[in-house]
Amino acid sequence: MKPEEVAFYYALASNNVSVRELGDEILRKIALELTEKLRKSVTVDWSVPGSVRARLRIMVKTILKKCKYPPDKQEEATEIVLKQAEVLSAAWACA
């Protein structure tokens, strides 16, 4: 796994419920998909809240729902993933 995939994996595995219900392989799959889709959105201006950030939030939630991430933990995981994406986007933009 790439470092950014690992970061998203740990964000998703931060609660025991998701690890217990989904298992390591599903969490890896989600982390990989998040990395791919968020990386494609590298042009996001994180300093400007609005529709772009809302679109990313919807994208993350859609992926979590599709992969049956525990519903009561989705909001927390979404916030962590978006914060990590904000940090990683600077590195992705330079790559």
What are the sequence ranges of the domains in the chain? 3-94
pTM > 0.85 = no
With beta carbons less than 8 A apart as the criterion, state whether 70 and 1 touch: no
Which residues does 17 contact at the CB level (< 8 Å), separation at least 6? 70, 72, 73
- State the Cα–Cα distance between residues 91 and 76, nearest whole angstrom: 24
Most confident option among 9-18, 61-70, 83-92: 61-70
Read off the pLDDT of residues 29-79 as tens digits, 9 standing for 90 and up. 999 999 999 888 766 565 566 777 788 899 999 999 999 999 999 999 999
The terminus-to-terminus CA distance of the chain in angstroms comes to 18
CA 95/CA 2 separation, integer angstroms: 14
